[in-house]
Amino acid sequence: MSELFYQTAQELRAKIGSGEISSREAVMSCLERINAVEPKVQAFLTVTSQEALAQADAIDKRRANGEALPPLAGVPIALKDNMCTKGVRTTAGSRILDNFVPPYSATVVNRLEAAGAILIGKANLDEFAMGSSTENSGFFTSRNPWDTERVPGGSSGGSAAAVAAGEAPIALGSDTGGSIRQPAGLCGVVGLKPTYGRVSRYGLIAYASSLDQIGTFGRSVYDCALQLNAIAGYDPLDSTSANVGVPDYTHACGKDIQGLRIGIPKEFFEQGVSAEVAGAVRKAVSQLIKLGASIEMCSLPHTDYALAAYYIIAPAECSSNLARFDGVKYGHRTNELAGHIGLTEKTRDEGFGDEVKQRIMIGTYALSAGYYDAYYKRAQQVRTLILRDYQRAFEKFDVLATPVTPAPAFKVGEKADPMAMKLADVCTLPINMAGVPALSVPCGFVEGLPVGLQLIAKHFDEETLFRTASAYEQATDWHNQHPNL
């Protein structure tokens, strides 16, 4: 049996329920692990030790009183630091929110609390979730637990690294162009981006509102299902959350995949994907065939246009969303004396990092008078073509299988060219454009570094993702391997 800090949420919850361990012990095991490995991994911006222990004691007391415990009772969880937590500093990885303490919690935070989960810390990210490595964080770069010279991926890199390193059994992230699946793939953990609208975005600090979606990290497929059970569903505070029933996603885990129809979109193997990564994905697909699935090549012809359309739509929405940071209501304000416009300009120049400024500039340009039709409207039309590709594919297939990333984790500082960094998201971006759910599950190692298999399903069919990924997971041993730290 592995150490307590490498137990899954499912295992911890069972042990807490039976009284084999207390919630305090579960929390302490994570806090001790954080103390031991955090200097190397640097996954957290804030660790909430005291609050976590107090909550653990409350759970243990409820158990002692014979109360029925909720599904995540006593289980520690890390949250990407772009989700508002009442009374706990929330930075979005930006200096402009260095001192921001939200007066309210995100809906997902309230739902996790109701499910008994215990917040253990706020995880590092690329500033405002813009980036693929955490190198754009306004604070520091998190490290890949498998090789601390390398990035954990991003933007939810802190969440992925924390789960891979045993600092937390589960975590939430957000995914706008791959920000959950890419770091999950690079850190060797499971990462789910649910359907757009499946999970409320209320209290998630916005980047690109039509693409952002909160999702889950775990060291098992089941743990992602457990978390989605807790956070999914309609929320009157987010008018884009969908009023669609929430099944018990854990029931999809452990089912067979006999007769499952899997499509392999050829475009995803042409986008500079390394031979080794393609090989690992092909092996995983062979495994799925052995488990009873049928496989056929297919085409999503507009895949090659997704990156270009994304880099108009996401910056456009970002420029609008980030207009709220003006140095008046909250966050950083410049100390320089300046007039009304000058105050805003200087505050934003001091508070935002380079990547964020670049995206604000591109978005502002793309939305400005005279250019709107040529850029923003056209990108939205191309988005329709991408969405139709997926709708057509799901008439024939239950699941699509692709690589998550073109290559394993790169070295810190290796992708200094911003365009090179953006190309690292080429396999994950198109999925956000279509709004369909997708999951990354570990499918092997390339030169000692984990790589992931991406599974994609139609809108609101997360169950098929869990069923497929859990069948694959049970037939393989990748998820039982942990980094040496």
Partner 1 sequence: MALSREEVQKVALLARLELTQEELDAQAQHINTLLQYVEVLQTLDVTGVPPTSHVLPMVNVLREDIMRPSLSREEVLANAPESREGCFVVPRIVEGANV
Q: Is the dihedral of CA 91, 95, 101, 106 positive or negative?
A: negative
In Å, the largest CA–CA distance within the chain is 69
**Interface with partner 1 by CB under 8 A: which residues?**
99-101, 103-104, 196-197, 210, 236, 239-240, 242, 302, 304-305, 307-309, 311-312, 319, 323, 326-333, 338-346, 348-349, 352, 354, 357-358, 360-362, 364-365, 368, 374-375, 377-385, 387, 418-419, 434-435, 459
Q: E strand or H helix at 295, and its extent? A: strand 294-298
Q: Residue 76 corresponds to which tokens in the numbers above?
A: 């520690």
Identify which of residues 328 and 475 has a Cβ nearer to partner 1 in the complex: 328
Q: How far is the CB of 380 from partner 1 (least distance, A)?
A: 3
Residues 23 and 74: their CA atoms lie apart, in Å, by 5
Determine how many CB atoms are found less than 10 A away from the CB of residue 438: 30
Identify which of residues 77 and 434 has a Cβ nearer to partner 1 in the complex: 434
Q: How far is the CB of 432 from partner 1 (least distance, A)?
A: 9
Identify which of residues 58 and 338 has a Cβ nearer to partner 1 in the complex: 338
Q: How far is the CB of 100 from partner 1 (least distance, A)?
A: 6
190: nearest Cα among 227, 154, 212, 216: 216
Residues 6 or more apart whose Cβ sits within 8 Å of residue 100 = 89, 90, 91, 330, 331
Phi-psi sector, 367: left (phi>0), alpha (psi -120 to 50), beta? alpha
Residues 458 and 462: their CA atoms lie apart, in Å, by 8
Identify which of residues 287 and 320 has a Cβ nearer to partner 1 in the complex: 320
Identify which of residues 385 and 407 has a Cβ nearer to partner 1 in the complex: 385
What separation, in Å, do the N-terminal and C-terminal C-alpha atoms of the chain show? Answer: 18
**C-alpha 221, offset from chain centre:** 14
Q: How far is the CB of 326 from partner 1 (least distance, A)?
A: 7
Q: How far is the CB of 475 from partner 1 (least distance, A)?
A: 33
Q: How far is the CB of 64 from partner 1 (least distance, A)?
A: 34
Identify which of residues 69 and 338 has a Cβ nearer to partner 1 in the complex: 338
DSSP label at residue 85: B
DSSP label at residue 410: P
Residues labelled catalytic: 80, 155, 179
Residues 6 or more apart whose Cβ sits within 8 Å of residue 353 = 94, 95, 127, 136, 138
